[in-house]
Structure 1
Amino acid sequence: MILNIPIIDKTQPDMLTWDCTQDGQYSVKSGYHAIMEWGNIPNASPSNNSQHIWNVLWKLKVPPKHSHLLWRVLHNALPVKNNLFKRGVSDGHWSTGLVLRRSDGSTVGVATRTHNGSADVVTGEAMGLMDAIEWIEKLGEQSVIFELDSQVIVKAVKGQSNIFKSWGKVVRRCSLFLKGNPRSDIKWVQRKANQATHEMTKWAEIEPNKEWTTNIPFCIWSVIQKDKGNIPSFQDE
């Protein structure tokens, strides 16, 4: 199971994260919903012993979320290995399609990437952004626009949000790249303007972890032509 956790950026330190919110930050509300989901609250009235423990915890002079955390520990409500298996975490992999184009929509190169392990959709999108950053740095490009159809990630980067999930490392990594390359940017685009990358993502199942600057896979030829009408112009400042 540990091997199924995607490692996004080894250069950044580990952090504590809460799995039941999108940004990884714990809240009492999310804790309550998590307990209900995991089925660890009995339907019947609580026993005298449980009620006594609950009363003692609430009398402690600590923030409510800390008392709530202690209660979850006592009731086996933490997302430990057994609970995670119950929630359906299993083997799998994620694929990414990358397309580098000029401002007129013509293609400079394309690439595919694959990652072993299980992840949610947002983390998968973030892994794609990390692949793009690493590819751009490898090519030595300093003036680019990262186009994603994931509003969650684009908004997090634009707002420099403090995300405590694993994909938050990508947000910070992208922010550092943009800071070091002021002529670059990240933008949200509609899915119809990003079809070429989706086709390359499918192609990654056939030819994973490859790059093309010539003889681009035929699967995106027609898509590139159609996408040109949806590509926003990019003018150097």
Structure 2
Amino acid sequence: MIRPVPSRRHTIADDLRRQIVTGHFKAGERLPSEAQLATRYEVSTPTLRSALALLQAEGLVEKIHGSGNFVRHPLRRITYVGGGAAPYAHTATGAPLRLTVRTTNVQAQDPLTALMHVPFGSPLTEFHCLSHQGKSPQGLARIYVPRDLVAADLAEESPEALTTRLAALRPPLAEVQERLSARLPTPEEATVLRISSSLAVLSITRVATDATGRAVEAALLVLPGDRSDALFTAHPPTKERTSKE
């Protein structure tokens, strides 16, 4: 049987992978520039970038815009826990993720108008949240809350206390809907999360409503697919609870 000849990008990726696995290139180390690697392997820059994209998709290499390609530290899986009163994610070891939050006042536009059932231009507050494990970004979330439910001093809260404070300010929740899908990242998401544009992400859309049916929070979460799981736990009614009802 005739075996297919490996393409140049696969040959280059195999060689770089071997050098990473054997420790020639160490975790956190910057790889030679793309121009240097293209010259070394005698290929065009697009072919070299295609080879690097294979390693980025495997989680071995991350590209930092303006800085270059770096050997990624060993990935730790993160788990998104759904079904609760607030979006929550943790590492496989249970260690909390470090958050950075940027707060902005915005006006509702599509698709938020349909998602939250509010008129175009309705005042919202956006919380742009980026979670880190060490220096490596792990997840991106955009949380939108009607502006009348946000206290004036909320921006002064620490990122760790933000979720708790938001939960205290809003009315009791009557329903939480979460939609999970897999898709390719947008160019902005790929840059922020330092992942390949060919790596699938978990996209989670979460809308919380109160007893009146008003959407009091909408969260759009993006998690890299090479290190993320989503866990949803259901509690079926027991016979005892059903008989009481």
Please give the TM-score of this superposition, normalised by the length of structure 2: 0.26
Structure with more strand by fraction = 2
> RCO greater where, 1 or 2, for CA within 8 Å and sep 6 or more?
1
Please give the TM-score of this superposition, normalised by the length of structure 1: 0.26
